[in-house]
Amino acid sequence: MGSRMNRGLPFAGAISCVACALLLAAMAPAAEPAEKVKEPSADLVQQNTAVDALMKAGKLAEAEAPLQALLQASTTALGIFHPFTVDKKMKLGSLLLAEGKFAEAEPHFRFSSRLFEKILGLDDPKTLSQRSVLGNILHEERKYAEAEKLTREVVQDMERVLGAENGGTLLNRGNLAAILSDEGHHAEAETELRAIIKIETRVVGPDAQPTLTARGNLAITLRDSGKLAEADADFRALLSDLERTQGANHPYTLTMRYHHALCLKREKKFAEAEKQVRQAYDGAVKTLGPDHPNTLLLKKFLAELEDSKS
């Protein structure tokens, strides 16, 4: 296949406009009185309300163009660092991320990472969260060297600031292992993931999303390292737990079904692979919509499997 579905790793969302205002207020020198922040016009507020309604309704594709226009208008009227503009920029980044448009989301998260670092410092949890998301985006763009470097730094900083068993620390250790696996460092990735799963199971429980995510990454790593039988068994056990805890059409369940189908294809279990992909595709149409990148990828994969029979 010409592309691949991402691993379904959790991403942090954008912070609120109120939080942005507090961040920007912190930039004012202590010796100078803070200037009153200019209020957005009634037209900008009205546009924002309309965009929020679309996003709340899950109409992300429909919301993208008006949000782009709103960001441009706010930047022109208020400036790039105005709280209202910053909120729109981060909201657009999160929307693009949810749509799987990683290259378009990247500059927005680079902006937020730099802004948070400047205002709050490198060690603030919000800064660490934004850097973590940026590392994930770089990974999905296959910018492996930069993704690995950034994610290693985030893991080290989180261990120092939050502790080795903090959820964010463990999540980013798993992200790092996923990057290593995609770089071909399967043995290192497998060792890391087994250690993470052991800790996650003890700290948050076997059915918690961090544990399930680490198990999914391990199954992918085993598959990619050629341990197909072990990977197949792990995928089956994981999918059973995901269907029980999250449902058959949850986005992460669909992602793991896709990755299991890739394993089945490599095992030459083509009929079962086609069944898994068809089930994932039907679920993606319902959950993500027919035009989502993951839905389109599943549609292409299904067509390839059907063509291979003729």
Topology of the domain comprising 12-26+48-57+67-147: 1.25.40
Q: What is the pLDDT of residues 141-171, one digit of tens each?
A: 999 999 999 999 999 999 999 999 998 999 8
Confidence of residue 254 (pLDDT cuts 50, 70, 90): very high
Is 231-310 in the same CATH topology as 12-26+48-57+67-147? Answer: yes
Q: How far is CA 70 from CA 62, 219, 294, 297, 298, in A?
A: 14, 42, 27, 31, 33
Q: How far is CA 218 from CA 6, 15, 118, 227, 304, in A?
A: 14, 31, 36, 11, 26
Amino acid, res. 212: L
Confidence of residue 8 (pLDDT cuts 50, 70, 90): low
Helix (H) or strand (E) holding 235: helix 228-245
Q: Where are the domains of the chain?
A: 12-26+48-57+67-147, 163-226, 231-310
The average confidence (pLDDT) of the chain is: 89
| Chosen CATH of 231-310 out of 1.25.40.10, 1.10.150.310, 3.90.1640.10, 3.40.640.10 | 1.25.40.10
Amino acid, res. 146: E
DSSP-derived secondary structure letter, 292:
S
Neighbours of 4 (CB within 10 A): 14
